[in-house]
Every structure is written in structure tokens, then in C-alpha cells.
Amino acid sequence: MAEPDKQLSLSDGTVRLYTNVKFLEGTKEICSGDHMIVQHVTGRDEDVVILREDGKATVKRIVLKMEFPSGRGGVSFADLDAKDVERLLAIYKLVNES
């Protein structure tokens, strides 16, 4: 993976941010947003994308898809609960301010 545009070390992990990432379904762009990976010291990773919906930032979990038997892959996005969205947007803001 390429070097992140921004990276921040926190007391409980590391955050890497890749800005203006285009997500594709085959060759078709399905959306673009900021890809953020939060690596906790416990070993748990949160792989999310920050999107704009109706002018407001929101966070979605990235879900990798694989089609069988072709092996082609893609991504979809899953909703998070409001508490996780609020927490991840706060982390996103910290990384952008660093």
C-alpha cells in the first residue's frame, strides 16, 4: 500500500489517512472519500471511509467482497452505530489537524 497522506500516533494506536481515494466496482467509480485505518495496540484494526452525504461527513466501514468462482473483488460500505461514527469523526479531525 502507498504511504499515507497523514499519520498520527495515539496512546492506544496509530492512525493512517489516505485522502481523496477513489473506490471502484470493476472500472466504474462508485465513490471517493478519505480512507482511514485505525490500528489499535490490541491488534484490532478499523478500516473505514469518510464520505460526504448531503454535505455532512459520515463514516462507513469498508467491507471487501469477492465473487465466486471468478475471484473478482470489490468493496461495499456498512453503516456504523452513532457512537462509533462520532468517535471515528473525532479521530479523523485530530489527524487532519496534525
pLDDT in tens, 13-72: 999 999 999 988 777 888 899 999 999 999 999 999 999 888 899 999 998 877 777 666
As a whole number of angstroms, the distance between CA 24 and CA 21 comes to 10
Q: What pLDDT is recorded for position 70? A: 67
Q: pTM score, two decimals?
A: 0.86
Pick 28 or 8 by higher pLDDT.
8
Residue with cell 499515507: 4
Q: Residue 48 is which amino acid?
A: V
Question: What are the cell numbers at 91?
Answer: 479521530
Per-residue pLDDT for 6 more than 90?
A: yes
Average pLDDT over residues 72-83: 87
Return the amino acid letter for 45: D
pLDDT (0 to 100) of residue 64: 82
Write down the pLDDT at residue 71: 63
**Over 80: is that where the pLDDT of 80 sits?**
yes
